Structure 1
Amino acid sequence: MSWAQTLPGLIAMTVLMVAPGWLLLRLLGLRGIVALGPAATLTIALSAGWAVLLGAAGVPWNLGTLALGLLLAVAACAGLGHLFGTAPWRGAGDAEETERAGPAPEARGLRTPPVARRARPGRGGATVAAPARGVLLQPAPLARPHLLLLAGVAAVATGLYVLAMARGIGVPERPSQVWDGVFHLSAIQAVREHGDASSFGGLASLYDYGYAPFYPAGWHGIVAVVPFLGPVPAAVNASILVVGVLWTLSITGLVRATWPRLPVAAAVVPALAHSFLALPVGLITQMGQFPYTYAHVLLPGLLTLVVLAVRNLPDLRATAAPALPAAVAAFGLALVHGSVWFSTLLLVAPLLVATAAGAFRRLRHTGARLPLAVAAWCALGLAVLASVPLLAGEVVDSVQAFEREGDDGYRWILTSLLVDRPLRSFGGYDLGGVATVVQVVVAGLAIGGAALVWWLHRGRWIAVGLVTSVALTAISWGPADHTLHWATGVWYSETMRLDALVIVCAAPLAAAALAVLVRDGVEVVRGIRPRESALAGQGASVRQGAPLRQGAPLREAVVAGVAVLAMVLASDGLRNTLRTYHAVESFVPDHLPFRMLANDAELELFRRAGEELPDDAVVLGARFRGTPYVYSLGGVDVVYPHLAGPRSADGRLLQAGIDEIGTDPAVCAAVERLGVTHFYTNTRDTGPEPWHQMAPLGDATLFTFRPGEGFELLDTGGLGELWEITACD
């Protein structure tokens, strides 16, 4: 299979993830980039929740039942949009965003329909313009130069990412060979086989616990039913390419919603976001953490909806239009990966606290009741975010139980964050290259953006999130006995996982800083003294009643485009070679520096096993010999479907006593109870670090066992051998 053959599947996956959510948000009144950005977030969240309901009802999970759930959601959003008065056919839902204080939008060059205006008391009894109830405040459409710039930057940045991943993986059917990746391949096969994508027991077949554990299956569910992709690895690898598109959309939507009067920021943020390594490249290749990557790539979409909801307070109907899908997205993304709930709490809490505090200040000055309503809604949001983890205490405790060895200091990790050094492998990575210098400039823009938005009163919560996430990332790397090390536990105390939060905050801040530089630079070149930047217009200048400058969109677009082009060229296509190596080190057997589960010939043997073995076959073999691939590639049941060790007594017995098969009746009894019919192994040495250290983890006997009497050779591929067990006949 070639990448060209996967093109229909890639298109189908992108459309399936984006189109339904966009339609739902459009029916609720959102439009433009702020509807497209959170679209995949809402689709996948709804899919995850719908899978739970279908699993509880015993209804099979497939593309048809998913489509049914999405159609029901479309009907619900159409009714809610009509009820709120924000639906497109109600007319009021298309009002362009204006500030809630200061001069009327007409004085600032914005168009707002007369039906969308009403008066409300301002400070000191003055009357200021505000949106009518039920009118959804959202950014105005981009000017054509800014829109063309956004389209060009998004196409280049996303295209470079897709190219790097496709080149690095090489073959669409080639599976990930990292620990988490092996599990998720088996999980996709389990969803397809059993028709259950519920996070509450849908993946029970992968465990020998004796009960159905909770495991977030939202990502597995939607990837498993995408048409035209066929083999499980092809579907998974297609999702690796598609996540680049979703990252571009979600981060652009967040920037557009946060700084609506900084159109250049939204146009350049795709390039800045794709310049970072950890998210999505590092997490989805070297870590193999597909659900975690998707959850945090989609997180900016959720934040976009939260920003719009807060912007529309205290109008209940206008606030509900983005707030309800935001709530659905929050719960749904937690079914993609639970850690994202804490990421949401970490980033949203400062926004809600600041909004509530501002409302109380207005209450003290004006005595009006509206600020009290704003504070109440913010307090409700915080209460929900903070209380839900208490209901899942056992799950949270199990995550925090992961132990990581810490480093003695923080210098290495802080330097790595500054230069965006790969956090795994690439020990000889050149920190002095031009590409790294460019990334230091991006980091400088992010730091400058954090200071800028703090001073100018818009997007402060993102600056707080940047500082907090950097601190947590450093703590996760540092000494394990640090007083606050426990706070990183909900992210498995994994440095790269927390680095994803750094990137979610750094990319928008860098975009805001670059946009201000471009805007003010254009005005300086034109010989005009900047009276206020776009951000300042949303802060103090608005309160003073000064008119805002709209700037020169064409000039801004040209200058920003040149800046992005220079960045791309100087950084080797956003470090495309390095990103390609990330994928190579995780997928290509002959280039795996730390692991070798199976080479291409052995992978082909696993695929043939699905055709050669009977339907009731069960294969036994060492986990680190690649046996889990017999299930995910060939569809044949195995005793150990992932790299984690067994918990059942029979699984452990076979692991430790397979060399006594034919002599110890207990071994054959375990074989019969588990239905084992075949055995797989290969003649490869234990190999480089760390696999020869992992073999003693209860797997030493099975790992080194060579079949003899009582085994019949059926097929070979590479160094792999597939045997039929006859010793227990």
Structure 2
Amino acid sequence: MDWLNATPAVLASLAVLFLPGFAVTAALRLRAFDAVALAPLVSASLISVGAVIASLTGLPWTPVVPVVGALLAAAAAFAVRQVLDRRWPSAARLPRASTPSQELAFFAGTAIAAVILVWQVTRVLGNPDSFSQSFDNIFHLNAVHYILETGDASSLSVAGMTAGDGPVPFYPAGWHGFASLVAQVSGAELTVAVNAANIAVAAALWPFSVMFAVRQLARLASAAVIAGGVLIASFPAFPILLLDFGVLYPNFFSLAMVPAGLALAAIVLQQAPNTRISVPAAVFIALLAYPGIALAHPNGMLTLLLLAVPLVIGAYALYVHAARNAGKEPLRSVGLPSLALLIVLGAFAAVWNFVRPPEEAAFWGPVETSAQAFGEALFNAPFGRPVAFLASVLAIVGVAAAIRLPRLRWLPASYLIATALFVIASGFERSTLRSFITGVYYNDPNRLAAILPLLAAPLSILGLSTVFMWLGSRAASAPGGRVLDSLTPRGRAVSAGAAGLAGVLVLLPLTQGRNMDDAIWRAAQMYILSADSALVSSDELELMDRIDEIVPEDATIAVNPYTGGALAFAFSDRDTTHRHTLDTVTEDTITIETDLRDADLIPEVCVAARNENLQYVLDFGEREVHGGDHRYPGIENLDTDPDFELVDQVGEAKLYKFNGCQE
């Protein structure tokens, strides 16, 4: 399959991600760019919350659910807008944030980022139907198939796929619900739908999120906005890293929304100097958007809350300063705001301590010295990767520019927090303090490396704008500089566009070199299908493609999940004894895996086989995805056992029919 044939799936993913939310943001009558940029955040909530509601009410999971949710939310948004127009006209009619040409510059910069990111991600994937040969992808692919099979995408239900006879735990299924909708809308096969969904997140959601954030924070040179699209695609740690390591698709989806979500918080707390979205409108959008970030993955919401701590403290400090200057009594100017600040910070600390994985899952230790980690964070080159020099220098310039503006000083502080998290996870020895600070992220440096670009990207665009404005002031003061002042608005727009395109031509070779090539090459290795692929080999995949022609629909196949056999659930559409390596299985399954070869000697085995309708065994040998050694003696070494008939084989991959326990 080629990428041209996959285009309908990519277009479907964009429609699923943008259209439901855009119906809401358009009803709120936001400006064009803001409405489009915030649409995916609202769509994420309509998908993830809609899935929970549909499950609880017994409705099947189809595109109808988020469409109905969008219509209801759009009606609410229209009502909110009417209230704003009538009750707070000054809030509803803020001055224009930009001229039409400046608005166009934001779309142009985002489009440039999108083109580069599509090029990067398709190089990582290789083919539209490729899949990550990684441990976590067993769960992700099977979960999307489980949703399509059961018609239930609720975060309260999806983990039932791996719960066995036990209770079903919460699992954030926003990304899986999104990918399943792409499969339904496009009709594409599972892996194509997954890749299309990830392209939409990386090449559309992420650049819109960054551009929306930086647009609210400062007045930018239009040329810098256009050229800034290159910078969004210049950080190896996001989005490429999370398409490589793990794979962490839910984190990838959630973190892509954090810049825009953080900007919404800045608007609500009146710490976004250039916004033209009113506080009531921002509160309404945040209430719609934040559930989607949380249900994509709680790490995304916790990251947003942590990075918002300097924002909250900055808003408190500026309010107290203004209140005291206005002569308000101490209780109102200091006492009550201080109490509110303590309550907010205390609540955040409680959530931070509570919402975290079990300690045994947060097993990651340090990988380098703290000094090395700091240098890597400063130059956006995690784990010894090539330095993203220009983007990092511009981010530092952006830090300097933000420090000069009282209502933007929280932004460098948030960047410092992100840097500290990475340094602590990467370079500090295991300790109780380290676990408290980074245990939320499994103490995993990879997850924390991906957070750095969430702030570095908007800061680099702010830095680039500072450079363009400095160059513009120099040009204006030079001989003949008054010519610029005499230009018409159209002439200024053309001049800014030309300067922006020139910036693109300069930035492309300086940012898309070795650092990005290295990240793309590393990630691409995880998507190569070969005779010795880590998770599923070419022979094993070919065999799984034929299973649905051999195995009855109601039959269960016994598998060793660590060898990739569990993916027969997603790839062959047949039930398997395991759907992930870290699942809980029934007692009958344990009996089968331990003693199936001895069914003629142990009567309980036949009872278990009948209960599970176990009819086949898939043997992918002993090579495991992480090089481990997990033994399932009941379904191994079957060649000479008369109860097992070899019915198909590709290379060393074998499918056996179990003929024992005949009545």
Q: TM-score, normalised by structure 2?
A: 0.88
Aligned twin of 1:230: 188
The DSSP-based 3-state class of the residue aligned with 2:98 is: coil
Matches of 2:341 and 2:25, distance apart in 1: 20
1:369-518 alignment, distance < 5 Å: 387=347, 396-398=356-358, 401-407=361-367, 409-421=369-381, 423=383, 431=386, 436=387, 439-478=388-427, 479-481=429-431, 483-518=433-468
In the TM superposition, 1:143-182 aligns within 5 A as 144=101, 146=102, 149-182=105-138
Q: What corresponds to 1:274 in structure 2? A: 233
- Residue 301 of structure 1 deviates from its aligned partner by 2.1
Could you tell me which amino acid in structure 2 is paired with residue 414 of structure 1?
Answer: F
Please tell me whether the aligned partners of residues 139 and 260 of structure 1 are also in contact (alpha carbons under 8 angstroms). no
Structure 1 window deviating more from structure 2 (505-514 vs 379-388): it is: 379-388
For residue 244 of structure 2, what is the aligned residue in structure 1?
285
Shift of 1:171: 2.6
State how 1:263-342 maps to structure 2 within 5 Å. Answer: 263-311=222-270, 318-342=278-302
Deviation at 1:601, TM superposition (A): 3.6
Task: Flag the 1:384–1:160 CA change in 2: closer, same or farther, 3 A.
Answer: same
Report the counterpart of residue 629 of structure 2 in structure 1: 695
Determine the structure 1 residue equivalent to 2:311: 351
Where structure 1 has 5 or more consecutive residues not aligned to the other structure, the ranges are 93-130, 530-549
Deviation at 1:328, TM superposition (A): 2.5
Contact persistence 2:555–2:616 (CA under 8 A): yes
CA distance in 2, matches of 1:715, 1:205: 27
Moved more, 72-81 or 714-723: 714-723
Contact 2:616 2:656 in 1 (8 A): yes
Match of 1:609 in 2: 547
Residue 639 in structure 1 maps to residue 577 in structure 2: yes
Counterpart check, 1:361 vs 2:321: yes
Instruction: Summarize the Cα distance change of 1:365–1:495 in structure 2 as closer, same or farther, 3 Å threshold.
Output: same
Inter-partner Cα distance in structure 1 for 2:298 and 2:518: 30
Counterpart-to-counterpart distance in 2, 1:357 and 1:68: 43
Q: Which residue of 1 aligns with 2:33?
A: 33
**Equivalents in 2 of 1:9, 1:62: separation in Å?**
16
What RMSD in Å do the two structures reach over aligned CA positions?
Answer: 3.5
Q: Is the 8 A contact 1:44 1:218 kept in 2?
A: yes
CA contact (8 A) 1:625 1:682 kept: yes
Shift in alpha-carbon separation, 1:375–1:454, aligned structure 2, 3 A: farther
Matched, 1:686 2:623: yes
Secondary structure at 1:30 match in 2: coil
Change (3 A) 1:406 1:706: farther
Equivalences for 1:637-716 in 2 at 5 Å?
637-644=575-582, 646=584, 648-683=586-621, 686=623, 691-692=626-627, 694-696=628-630, 699=631, 701=633, 705-707=637-639, 708-716=641-649
Q: How far off is 1:155 after superposition?
A: 3.1
Structure 2 stretches lacking a partner, 5+ long: 480-489
Distance 1:354 1:421, change over 3 A: closer
**1:55 match:** 55
What is the CA-CA distance between 1:523 and the residue it aligns to?
A: 1.7
Whole-Å separation in 1 of the counterparts to 2:133 and 2:110: 30
> Does the CA-based 8 Å contact 1:279-1:500 persist in structure 2?
yes
Encode CA deviations 1:41-75: one digit per residue, 9 max, x unaligned.
Answer: 11112221121112111221111222112211111
- Is the CA contact (8 Å cut-off) linking 2:231 and 2:391 kept in structure 1? yes
| 1:727 CA displacement | 2.0
SS at structure 2 position matched to 1:691: coil
> Given the two structures, how large is their TM-score scaled by the length of structure 1?
0.81
Which of 211, 220, 226 pairs up with 2:176?
220
Shift of 1:9: 1.9
Q: Which residue of 1 aligns with 2:154?
A: 198
How high is the sequence identity, in percent, across the aligned residues? 24
SS class of match (1:714): strand
Give distance in 1, aligned partners of 2:94 and 2:39.
18
Q: Secondary structure at the match of 2:451?
A: helix
Provide the secondary structure at the position in 2 that maps to 1:179: coil
Tell me the secondary structure at the aligned position of residue 91 of structure 2. coil
Deviation larger for 662-671 or 449-458: 662-671
Report the CA distance between 1:11 and its aligned residue: 0.9
Tell me if the contact between 1:269 and 1:511 (Cα under 8 Å) persists in the aligned partners: yes
Q: Is the 8 A contact 1:178 1:287 kept in 2?
A: yes
> How far apart in 1 are the matches of 2:95 and 2:614?
60
Three-state SS of the structure 2 residue aligned to 1:256 is: helix
> Partner of 1:279: helix, strand, or coil?
coil
Q: Give, in whole Å, the separation in 2 of the partners of 1:79 and 1:723.
A: 62
AA paired with 1:251? V
Residues 391 and 517 (structure 1), Cα distance of their counterparts in 2 relative to 1, 3 Å cut: closer
Displacement after TM superposition at 1:277 (Å): 1.4
- Contact residue 164 and residue 583 of structure 2 kept, 8 A: no
Structure 1 residues 70 and 620, CA gap change in structure 2 (3 angstroms): same
Which among 518, 531, 535 is matched to residue 597 of structure 1?
Answer: 535
Inter-partner Cα distance in structure 2 for 1:336 and 1:158: 22
Give the number of aligned pairs: 646
